[in-house]
């Protein structure tokens, strides 16, 4: 269930994008609160970039609406985009112009005085000393930094980053992760789409997973990945019966004698005790902590999210 309050920065309501018969995004409902670092995950072709482009009015939804800062995007586009910064995939600039001139143009488009602002953002991303160099001489990593710089122009309140660490060396990736973490402490809301799962795991507090255009999971990262328990037992029917009657278990699925149990945090010891006291032999019990495993399992099953299961 989406919460449409003042605390909510982004809401998408049944957003769908169809190209001919192909649904790139299908009935997507996202909710991002103020101060979130929101991870947006999905395999290639899942619809992440299309979703982001719809949020920035580069692509028009076939159905559904998008609200940012509580305002309808299609009605209040100008006011909204004045407060949003974005980096979409591999950033492109006017290569025949310098970094400074590129940012000056973009600042002027947003009615931002470029005098101090351009140098400020270039300094943040470590490109101030290359400001007057033409972008065509920049490496991919430098262009990526410049892309982040342009997203920071005008001190936006909501930043959308699509694969921000693409093309960066390991140090650069760490720098960007640190930058994102620092930005989040400045009352900024960040929407981060990334293939690098450990990156999302490290810096995001909330996330959503989409596959084939559909939302699979959404919620707090700690709850989503820490509450998946792998269980191997000797009595499948009895275990299933017990699990159905425990209210802090959200749902479970099993394959032969192995169960995947989705439940509240820090209840694995309780579950073990209940099963053993009921006469079920527990061969193994381990918590799924890695986002990667969680991501892969979720994608494989591609279950649709249910409102009553996960949203906090």
Among 12, 31, 121, 150, binds other proteins (CB under 8 A): 150
Q: What angle do CA 280, 285, 288 make, to 5 degrees?
A: 145
Among 18, 35, 43, 59, binds other proteins (CB under 8 A): 59
> Does residue number 115 form part of the binding site for other proteins (CB under 8 A)?
no
> Does residue number 78 form part of the binding site for other proteins (CB under 8 A)?
yes
Stretch binding other proteins (CB under 8 A), from 90-98, 172-180, 267-275, 302-310: 90-98
> Does residue number 92 form part of the binding site for other proteins (CB under 8 A)?
yes
Q: Helix, strand or coil for residue 274? A: helix
DSSP state of 136: G
Nearer to other proteins, 86 or 271 (CB): 86
> Does residue number 97 form part of the binding site for other proteins (CB under 8 A)?
yes
> Does residue number 108 form part of the binding site for other proteins (CB under 8 A)?
yes
Q: Is 152 exposed, middle or buried (0-12, 13-18, 19+ CB in 10 A)?
A: buried
- Pick from 303, 288, 306: which is nearest to 250 by CA? 306
Among 18, 34, 77, 232, binds other proteins (CB under 8 A): 77
Q: What angle do CA 216, 218, 220 make, to 5 degrees?
A: 145
Q: What angle, rounded to 10 degrees, do the helices at 140-151 and 114-124 form? A: 130
> Does residue number 111 form part of the binding site for other proteins (CB under 8 A)?
yes
- Pick from 209, 263, 200, 196: which is nearest to 231 by CA? 263
Nearer to other proteins, 27 or 89 (CB): 89
> Does residue number 60 form part of the binding site for other proteins (CB under 8 A)?
yes
| Under 8 Å between Cβ of 221 and 199 | no
> Which helix H or strand E contains 118, and what residues bound it?
helix 114-124
Stretch binding other proteins (CB under 8 A), from 49-57, 65-73, 197-205, 218-226: 49-57
| Under 8 Å between Cβ of 172 and 203 | no
Among 84, 161, 275, 280, binds other proteins (CB under 8 A): 84
> Does residue number 263 form part of the binding site for other proteins (CB under 8 A)?
no
Nearer to other proteins, 82 or 254 (CB): 82
Query: Contact residues for other proteins (CB under 8 A)?
Result: 53, 56-60, 77-78, 81-82, 84, 86, 88-97, 101, 105-106, 108-111, 147, 150
């Amino acid at each position: 269930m989406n919460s449409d309050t003042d605390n909510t920065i982004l809401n998408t309501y049944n957003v769908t994008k169809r190209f001919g018969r192909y649904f790139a995004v299908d009935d997507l409902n996202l909710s991002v609160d103020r101060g979130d670092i929101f991870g947006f995950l999905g395999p290639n072709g899942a619809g992440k970039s299309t979703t982001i482009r719809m949020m920035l009015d580069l692509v028009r939804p076939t159905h559904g609406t998008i609200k940012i800062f509580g305002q309808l995007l299609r009605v209040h586009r100008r006011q909204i985009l004045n407060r949003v910064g974005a980096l979409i995939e591999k950033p492109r600039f006017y290569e025949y112009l310098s970094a400074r001139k590129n940012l000056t143009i973009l600042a002027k488009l947003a009615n931002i005085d470029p005098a101090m602002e351009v140098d400020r953002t270039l300094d943040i991303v470590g490109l101030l000393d290359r400001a007057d160099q033409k972008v065509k001489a920049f490496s991919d990593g430098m262009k990526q930094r410049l892309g982040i710089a342009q997203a920071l122009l005008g001190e936006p309140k909501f930043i959308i980053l699509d694969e921000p660490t693409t093309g960066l060396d390991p140090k650069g990736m760490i720098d960007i992760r640190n930058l994102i973490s620092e930005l989040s402490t400045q009352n900024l809301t960040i929407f981060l789409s990334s293939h690098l799962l450990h990156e999302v795991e490290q810096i995001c507090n909330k996330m959503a997973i989409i596959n084939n255009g559909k939302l699979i999971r959404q919620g707090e990262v700690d709850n989503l990945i820490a509450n998946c328990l792998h269980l191997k037992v000797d009595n499948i029917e009895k275990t299933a019966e017990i699990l159905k009657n425990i209210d802090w278990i959200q749902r479970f699925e099993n394959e032969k004698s192995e169960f995947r149990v989705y439940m509240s945090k820090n209840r694995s010891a309780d579950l073990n005790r209940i099963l053993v006291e009921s006469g079920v032999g527990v061969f193994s019990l381990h918590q799924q902590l890695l986002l990667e495993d969680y991501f892969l399992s979720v994608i494989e099953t591609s279950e649709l999210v249910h409102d009553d299961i996960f949203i906090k």
